[in-house]
Structure 1
């Protein structure tokens, strides 16, 4: 009995450590990290690590979690832009892009674009810096005027590239528009033949097929409309667009002396906030950042026009569906009218036959009348007269219906 108690006392302390170990690895997931220099890596990061590196809150992090479904949104934060558009989920900072669940098949094209284009972007920045240094350097014996002329020519020759966050944001918007455009084209290829086939021949199979297509059309239109509304909301607010200039914010903080100069290219040191105290944070909030929003406005405007084009295609398809439905309703109404006319013909004929049967039955009752004193020829003549009378009366009634325009 004492041994059992001793074993119980030994086994109890092991449980908390096991549960803590499970909780420690529960929040970690694989993230694709693409740095400003073009370096690409897959890292196992926990939620706290991601929030510390990007400077976002737990609520913002839940927006990009693949397991949760949030409406399309582009969240602007002090040190990051959280992108949640369709299946594209990313956290964009001034120095890197974090993409959750990069091995998702739906993210394959987006991940490939990030890896290829941002790595080219890093190489371009490196080459631009080397070229700028080579053009800026002049021999000691060179005059100052020649040096200024060389610098001026280099600036005119090479336009200013987009900041890193805008390049990453452009890839996100491009992937979203490309995905929606592909779905729209696929839907058009299926919808127009199905609608034409339904117009040619109204069958239950064709009606079911069109019903499924219409459901897909309504769902896709709603998704495109949400993305369009988000683009429109961004374009309508210059303050929101100004907050997306993360590189300028970082440069302004360095100019104001809030961030050491040797940490300007270190995303983790800047975004973690470990070296920024409350006084520095208050100074950051008081900085009047008024960058020129023309760059981001042109970027968002271009993809807003593309989304408008996709929405226009869906609207055209919706109108075609509505016109087909109207045509099918007209055809069905005409068929229904034909059935009603046929029912009226049959009802009138049945009524006339019933009158003839009643007349003949009245004449054939077992009572003594002069009509049956002789042979049955007289009865046959009465039967024929009643039948002919009912036919003549039927024709008269039909002519009256047509005169009253009951048959159209």
Structure 2
């Protein structure tokens, strides 16, 4: 039947697809949305809504899935930049930033920075637009009063404000660098005293603690190296950097008539006129930015380069700590080798003493045999004591000679 399934001669109604998906909540997650105008909201969005809103594919969306373990990546797409670095997972467009699972305590500081700094950026942008609409005869004091909103200065030291997508990407990179720097400092504070204690006293607890620290050091170094590789990968290709100029792309497409002006600052779902325009936008924007933006990527290059230097400093700290660990291991191996040599020398001395004692025992046993010897015909034991004393003295003399020979040969050091 059309709307029923036959099971054990009973008919069970089949719910519509949308109703089943709504009941299950499949693909619907909580997203923090920070718009270019400073609006901050928490929305429940499904995968299809996010893909339609940002222009990314389902494969790109898996990069920011909280439940999936995906390698670090910064994906440059036509309408968005997908960021996955450490705990930071975000989708950055020219108009807004979408962050999945914003209530995760690991990214609390990152969410706060996005809400505060991007909202501040939106207020500043609105103030700048209002300044442009003022008459030219407006007093300078009135113009200056409208610029009281604080602005975020980038690491480049440039007075020109960065585009919205670069501001958001800078917050992502800054949070990642701060997080890695904090973990590195914590590891250093814990590692150096532990290594010093191990150098002073070799014990099982100290060795176990150092083994744990070494494992954390290797894991943290790998994570920092992955972040550094992503930054270097961005800087390697000017075309990839050109693809990250989303605001300029949007302005160019607006001038080409592919995007409506009143839709740019409005609903993000109405970004494109239709699907055909989406294809034309991809073809035209790729051609335009291949020729226009390639020479003008210094802004992004300086921004990413600044954080690349910071990541390099963190990696140098970890390399220094790693070298200190290796030096401590070498010192411990030297100490253990010295103790092993001492044990070997002690074993050799004991083996030599055992050999001399065995020789003396053989001599004494020969005197205990029931064989008539004229030496004992006097009927006294004075001769026996003389022989016994001679054997003992001979054993001691042989032992001393053996030790001196071993020292001369360099065996005992």
State whether TM-score is above 0.5. yes
Structure 1 match to 2:3: none
Equivalent residue runs for 1:53-64 within 5 Å = 53-64=53-64
CA-CA distance at 1:13 after TM superposition: 1.1
Would the alpha carbon gap of residues 22 and 252 (structure 1) be closer, same or farther in structure 2, given more than 3 Å must change? closer
Matches of 1:328 and 1:201, distance apart in 2: 10
Structure 2 match to 1:210: 210
Structure 2 match to 1:145: none
CA distances 1:135-166 after superposition (whole Å, capped 9, x unpaired): xx235xx9xxxxxxx9xxx9xxx942100000
Would the alpha carbon gap of residues 20 and 397 (structure 1) be closer, same or farther in structure 2, given more than 3 Å must change? same
CA contact (8 A) 1:359 1:386 kept: yes
Would the alpha carbon gap of residues 11 and 382 (structure 1) be closer, same or farther in structure 2, given more than 3 Å must change? same
Q: Is 1:376 the equivalent of 2:387?
A: no
CA-CA distance at 1:294 after TM superposition: 1.2
Match of 1:138 among 136, 139, 149: 136
Would the alpha carbon gap of residues 78 and 312 (structure 1) be closer, same or farther in structure 2, given more than 3 Å must change? same
Q: Is 1:396 the equivalent of 2:401?
A: yes
Would the alpha carbon gap of residues 263 and 7 (structure 1) be closer, same or farther in structure 2, given more than 3 Å must change? closer
CA contact (8 A) 1:352 1:393 kept: yes
Structure 1 match to 2:236: 236
CA-CA distance at 1:281 after TM superposition: 4.6
Would the alpha carbon gap of residues 33 and 277 (structure 1) be closer, same or farther in structure 2, given more than 3 Å must change? closer
Q: Is 1:354 the equivalent of 2:358?
A: yes
CA distances 1:15-66 after superposition (whole Å, capped 9, x unpaired): 6779824676211010000000010000000000000001001011001011
Partner SS for 2:82: strand
Aligned structure 1 segments of 4 or more residues deviating by more than 4 angstroms: 6-11, 14-19, 271-275, 277-281
Structure 2 match to 1:406: 411
Q: Is 1:342 the equivalent of 2:346?
A: yes
CA-CA distance at 1:279 after TM superposition: 4.7
Task: Give TM-score scaled by structure 1 length.
Answer: 0.90
CA contact (8 A) 1:32 1:102 kept: yes
CA contact (8 A) 2:94 2:246 kept: yes
Would the alpha carbon gap of residues 180 and 197 (structure 1) be closer, same or farther in structure 2, given more than 3 Å must change? same
CA-CA distance at 1:236 after TM superposition: 1.4
CA distances 1:103-126 after superposition (whole Å, capped 9, x unpaired): 111011110111111110101111
Would the alpha carbon gap of residues 235 and 272 (structure 1) be closer, same or farther in structure 2, given more than 3 Å must change? farther
Structure 1 match to 2:181: 181
Structure 1 match to 2:337: 333
Matches of 1:106 and 1:240, distance apart in 2: 30
Structure 2 match to 1:304: 308
CA-CA distance at 1:7 after TM superposition: 11
Partner SS for 1:287: helix
Q: Is 1:30 the equivalent of 2:30?
A: yes
Structure 1 match to 2:277: 276
Would the alpha carbon gap of residues 166 and 17 (structure 1) be closer, same or farther in structure 2, given more than 3 Å must change? closer
Structure 1 vs Structure 2 CA RMSD:
2.4
CA contact (8 A) 1:55 1:272 kept: no
Would the alpha carbon gap of residues 15 and 381 (structure 1) be closer, same or farther in structure 2, given more than 3 Å must change? farther
CA contact (8 A) 1:97 1:168 kept: yes
CA-CA distance at 1:221 after TM superposition: 0.3
Structure 2 match to 1:146: none
CA-CA distance at 1:370 after TM superposition: 1.3
Partner SS for 1:365: coil
Which 5+ residue runs of structure 1 have no aligned equivalent?
Answer: 1-5, 143-149
Matches of 2:351 and 2:8, distance apart in 1: 92
Matches of 2:400 and 2:195, distance apart in 1: 43
CA-CA distance at 1:280 after TM superposition: 5.2
Partner SS for 1:26: coil
Matches of 2:362 and 2:246, distance apart in 1: 97
Structure 1 match to 2:287: 286
Would the alpha carbon gap of residues 246 and 257 (structure 1) be closer, same or farther in structure 2, given more than 3 Å must change? same
Matches of 1:272 and 1:392, distance apart in 2: 108
Segment of structure 1 superposing worse, 311-320 or 68-77: 68-77
More contact order relative to length (CA 8 Å, sep ≥ 6): 1
Segment of structure 1 superposing worse, 283-292 or 104-113: 283-292
CA-CA distance at 1:381 after TM superposition: 1.1
Matches of 1:183 and 1:96, distance apart in 2: 30
Matches of 2:330 and 2:10, distance apart in 1: 78
CA-CA distance at 1:285 after TM superposition: 3.9
CA contact (8 A) 1:53 1:272 kept: no
CA contact (8 A) 1:356 1:387 kept: yes
Segment of structure 1 superposing worse, 39-48 or 24-33: 24-33
Partner SS for 2:74: strand
Structure 1 match to 2:150: none
